[in-house]
Amino acid sequence: MSDILPKEVRAGLEEARKRDLRRRARLRIVVGDEIYPILRFWETGFALDADQVAHLRGLADIYDGTRHLYQCLIVASGIEEGELICTMKWSTATADRPALDYVRDENAPVAYLPRR
């Protein structure tokens, strides 16, 4: 059916689809000072709008709104059907507290009460 439509109409439909994906995207990637919305995300990679960025590689942070989710290393990126497909070598979930260097006792008190 897309072969029947004029080239301008197909381009307009594709632009509307990308605009809708960008608007609905909560996930974003931060590389240095640059911020890009993530159109699609899966376990080993994600897709960005190829019109916004042509090539991406290196260390990056992934956010859901303002919440920091992952730190990842992007090793490969290529353009497919107007999307920049990025492949991650690794991604590490971030934690809201530092890692413990010891085993925490199950019966340890949660907090200490001050003496009076």
Give the helix ranges, DSSP H, for the chain.
7-24
Q: Which domains does the chain have, with CATH numbers?
A: 7-93 (2.40.10.430)
Q: Which residues contact 104 (CB under 8 A, 6 or more apart)?
A: none
What is the number of other CB atoms lying within 10 angstroms of the CB of residue 82?
14
Cα–Cα distance, 27 to 22 (Å, whole number): 10
Q: pLDDT per residue over 66-84, tens digit each?
A: 889 999 999 988 898 888 9
Q: pLDDT per residue over 90-111, tens digit each?
A: 999 888 777 777 787 888 887 8
Token duo for residue 60: 């990056």
Query: What is the pTM (predicted TM-score) of this model?
Result: 0.66
Are the beta carbons of 90 and 63 closer than 8 angstroms? no
pLDDT of the residue at 107: 86
